């Protein structure tokens, strides 16, 4: 390969380099330039600076970071992000696995297919519609949940406005939307497990439950670890669109996550540098988490992401 | 040997799965029915309507014919779904195909270049400033260009291209075909399943995307259906109740339900036919990748 001159390589491969060009240009412009834009976090940008802000601007070092860490909001927002992510991880990560395990036990092919098809329906609905369905369901005037409550003689509850209920609603609706689609990968992996393993276990007297524990789960452990790593990397995301569509000032204290705070401060209040600093913080923590998770998973003898 | 316990467990599993399926279906059924009843019936029966007593098309008439706004919104959505997806497919395929070459110098660097964007992103603010500076703000192209290529989809398609036997290309090259001919005459026809799948992934994304549209577009006439819908659906929500003093009466639930149906129906109709492509596509991409 080294013996070929650049000219030679160019002649043979130039077609492919032309093919590469538009895509790489896209990533350069729309992904890498904003990445360099994190330099905004270390400067003082006003709304009138425009793009010069990314390349010029007054350097203020870690002022914005300090402001964020010292503010009352930091702990609240960070705490909410972590708690909501933990809830979603704890309930939302096993859910598709459980569904896959259940579906795996079904012998009737058409039943399995039908349930599967129905289960990924919510995944294709836009978040706006899901939010609309939810607000309808939980509305104080004519939502079905409150209708049931009043039938039982209780008072109507403004579910989406109650800090006590809000996170639960988030987790449940998130699981509703993602459990079906999430189970696809697990089911595919389960289909790849050698049936002879099950035969052998049955001969040894293992019931379905033990078979699940000793054969099925280990069989899909590869998929579980990869998806777990990816999930951990997104730990500080916590579902911005969903929360943004459902939250309101009355639940800020439990629902305000890093991204919603950045949206209000950065976009609405135009405190660009401040919001950018928070974004940098998020990226760094996300990277540390993903490296950590990958490392731990590898230590457990599973193949990691790289 | 099926003993009694196993039989009961089987029944339990079936029952649980049926309940789960209902949990997915009932909300849609309820919205469909609510959109088909008259306001009077809705007022009477209140919350949860599964089957309309009497079919009433008023809500649909209002949404589709009385208001011109939604047709404009539909046009915008159609624009981004058709033009956007077409561009998505073309650029992604070009990228994926060249990255699937076995011996292209610099290929690994390019792959890493793209992979990094899956892990890092500049965040909302730098992207927002970039879009403003480029002049895309409030232009319809902001719905298409910033999302031109998805790294994830590129890798899925790349995997697919790499699975095409090299002999097919080889024999064509021996017969004197240029790289362009190989691509257009051999690879592309073979890749239709992958194009269909990735095209559907992009298409559904464009249909459902609303946040980027809402922050970059100022002109209400340029709003796609999802943003239009968001304004209608959530105008009765807590957010606005606390901020809006001169509130008009929020639209009746029948109207809201009709809007939901009108914007979700296309996906629901196409869904049964295309869902097997989605599943296959995800499997091929992820299990291998």
- pLDDT tens sequence across B230-261: 887 766 543 333 333 333 455 677 777 888 88
**pLDDT reading at B32 higher than 80:** yes
Question: Does B125 sit within 8 Å of A176, measured CB to CB?
Answer: no
How close B130 gets to chain A, by Cα (Å)?
7
Question: Does A128 sit within 8 Å of B286, measured CB to CB?
Answer: no
pLDDT band for B150, please (50, 70, 90 cuts).
very high
Question: Does A276 sit within 8 Å of B125, measured CB to CB?
Answer: yes
How close B179 gets to chain A, by Cα (Å)?
7
d(CA B75, CA B78): 5
Question: Does A40 sit within 8 Å of B129, measured CB to CB?
Answer: yes
- pLDDT given for residue B47 in this prediction: 60
Tell me how far apart the 2 most distant CA atoms of chain B are, in Å: 76
pLDDT band for A20, please (50, 70, 90 cuts).
very high
- pLDDT given for residue B240 in this prediction: 37
**pLDDT, mean of residues A223-246:** 85
Q: Is B169:B184 a contact under the CB 8 Å cutoff?
A: no
pLDDT band for A305, please (50, 70, 90 cuts).
low
Q: Is B42:B252 a contact under the CB 8 Å cutoff?
A: yes
**pLDDT reading at A57 higher than 70:** no
How close B285 gets to chain A, by Cα (Å)?
11
Question: Does B239 sit within 8 Å of A38, measured CB to CB?
Answer: no
Question: Does B149 sit within 8 Å of A126, measured CB to CB?
Answer: no
**pLDDT reading at A78 higher than 80:** yes
- pLDDT given for residue A291 in this prediction: 82
Question: Does B233 sit within 8 Å of A131, measured CB to CB?
Answer: yes
CB atoms near residue A22 (< 10 Å)? 16
**pLDDT reading at B285 higher than 60:** no
**pLDDT reading at B278 higher than 80:** no
A59 three-class SS: strand
Supply the angle between the helices B151-162 and B107-119 in degrees, to the nearest 10.
140
How close B3 gets to chain A, by Cα (Å)?
11
Whole-number mean pLDDT of chain A? 83
Question: Does A51 sit within 8 Å of B286, measured CB to CB?
Answer: no
Kindly provide the ipTM of the predicted complex, given to two decimals. Answer: 0.81
Q: Which of B6, B132, B234 is nearest residue A245 as measured by Cβ atoms?
A: B234
Higher pLDDT, A60 or B230: B230
Across the A:B interface, residue pairs with CB atoms under 8 Å apart total: 265
The secondary structure element, H or E, covering residue A44 is: strand A43-44
B105–A contact, CB cutoff 8 A = yes
Question: Which residue of chain A has the CA closest to B239?
Answer: A248
Q: Which of A9-13, B6-10, B80-84, B117-121 shows the lowest per-residue confidence on average (mean pLDDT)?
A: A9-13
- pLDDT given for residue A52 in this prediction: 58
Higher pLDDT, A153 or A49: A153
- pLDDT given for residue A67 in this prediction: 81
- pLDDT given for residue A86 in this prediction: 92
Question: Which residue of chain A has the CA closest to B45?
Answer: A142
Q: Which of A32, A40, A136 is nearest residue B253 as measured by Cβ atoms?
A: A136
- pLDDT given for residue B251 in this prediction: 61
pLDDT tens per residue across span B169-205? 888 888 888 888 888 888 888 888 888 888 888 998 9
Q: Which of B13, B24, B283 is nearest residue A106 as measured by Cβ atoms?
A: B13
Backbone angles phi, psi at A43, to 5 degrees: -125, -175
- pLDDT given for residue B248 in this prediction: 43
**pLDDT, mean of residues B97-121:** 87
Q: Which of B119, B125, B279 is nearest residue A279 as measured by Cβ atoms?
A: B125
**pLDDT reading at B149 higher than 80:** yes
How close B77 gets to chain A, by Cα (Å)?
13
Which of B10, B126, B154, B287 is the best residue to mutate to test the A interface, defined by the most A CB atoms within 10 Å of its own CB?
Answer: B126
The secondary structure element, H or E, covering residue B270 is: helix B253-288
**pLDDT, mean of residues B25-50:** 76
A58 three-class SS: strand
The residues in B 61-90 lying below 8 A from A, measured between CB atoms, are: none
Higher pLDDT, A191 or B14: B14
- pLDDT given for residue B238 in this prediction: 39
Q: Which long-range contacts (CB under 8 A, 24 or more apart) does A202-211 make?
A: A207/B5, A207/B6, A208/A105, A208/B6, A208/B9
How close B24 gets to chain A, by Cα (Å)?
6
SS (H, E, C) A137-177: HHCCCCCHHHHHHHHCCCCCCCHHHCHHHHHHHHHHHHHHH
């Amino acid at each position: 390969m080294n013996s070929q001159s650049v000219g030679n390589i160019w002649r043979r491969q130039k077609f492919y380099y032309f093919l590469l060009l538009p895509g790489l240009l896209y990533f350069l412009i729309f992904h890498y330039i904003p990445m360099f834009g994190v330099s905004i976090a270390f400067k003082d940008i006003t709304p009138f600076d425009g793009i010069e802000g990314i390349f010029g601007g007054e350097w203020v070092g870690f002022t914005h970071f300090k402001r964020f860490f010292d503010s009352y909001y930091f702990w609240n927002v960070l705490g909410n992000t972590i708690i909501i992510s933990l809830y979603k991880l704890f309930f939302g990560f096993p859910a598709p696995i459980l569904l896959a395990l259940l579906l795996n036990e079904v012998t009737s092919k058409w039943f399995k297919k039908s349930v599967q098809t129905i289960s990924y329906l919510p995944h294709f609905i836009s978040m706006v519609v899901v939010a609309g369905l939810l607000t309808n369901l939980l509305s104080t005037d004519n939502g079905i949940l409150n209708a049931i409550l009043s039938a039982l003689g209780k008072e109507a509850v403004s579910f989406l406005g109650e800090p006590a209920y809000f996170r639960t609603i988030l987790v449940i609706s998130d699981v509703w939307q993602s459990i079906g689609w999430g189970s696809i990968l697990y089911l595919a992996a389960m289909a790849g497990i050698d049936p002879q393993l099950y035969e052998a276990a049955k001969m040894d007297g293992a019931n379905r439950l033990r078979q699940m524990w000793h054969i099925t789960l280990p069989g899909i452990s590869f998929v579980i670890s990869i998806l777990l790593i990816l999930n951990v990397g997104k730990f500080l995301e916590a579902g911005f669109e969903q929360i943004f569509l459902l939250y309101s000032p009355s639940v800020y204290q439990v629902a305000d996550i890093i991204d919603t705070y950045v949206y209000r401060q950065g976009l609405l209040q135009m405190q660009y540098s401040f919001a950018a600093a928070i974004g940098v913080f998020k990226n760094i923590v996300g990277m540390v988490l993903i490296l950590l998770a990958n490392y731990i998973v590898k230590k457990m003898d599973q193949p990691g992401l790289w | 040997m099926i003993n009694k316990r196993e039989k009961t467990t089987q029944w339990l599993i079936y029952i649980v799965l049926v309940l789960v399926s209902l949990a997915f279906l009932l909300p849609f059924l309820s919205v469909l029915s609510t959109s088909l009843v008259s306001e009077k019936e809705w007022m009477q029966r209140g919350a949860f309507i599964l089957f309309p007593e009497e079919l009433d098309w008023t809500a649909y008439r209002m949404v589709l014919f009385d208001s011109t706004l939604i047709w404009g919104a539909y046009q915008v959505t159609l624009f981004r779904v058709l033009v956007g997806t077409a561009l998505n497919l073309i650029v992604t395929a070009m990228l994926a195909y060249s990255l699937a070459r076995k011996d292209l110098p610099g290929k690994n660097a390019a792959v890493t270049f793209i992979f990094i964007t899956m892990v890092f992103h500049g965040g909302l603010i730098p992207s927002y400033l970039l879009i403003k500076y480029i002049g895309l703000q409030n232009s319809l192209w902001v719905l298409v260009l910033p999302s031109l290529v998805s790294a994830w989809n590129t890798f899925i398609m790349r995997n697919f291209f790499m699975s095409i036997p090299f002999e097919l290309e080889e024999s064509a090259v021996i017969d004197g075909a240029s790289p362009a001919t190989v691509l257009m005459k051999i690879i592309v026809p073979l890749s239709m399943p992958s194009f269909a799948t990735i095209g559907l992934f992009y298409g559904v994304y464009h249909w459902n995307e609303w946040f980027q549209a809402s922050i970059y577009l100022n002109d209400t006439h340029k709003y796609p259906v999802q943003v239009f819908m968001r304004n209608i659906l959530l105008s009765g929500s807590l957010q606005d109740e606390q901020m809006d003093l001169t509130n008009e009466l929020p639209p009746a639930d029948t109207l809201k339900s009709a809007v939901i149906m009108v914007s979700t129906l296309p996906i629901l109709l196409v869904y049964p036919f295309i869902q097997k492509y989605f599943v296959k596509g995800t499997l091929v991409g992820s299990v291998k990748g």
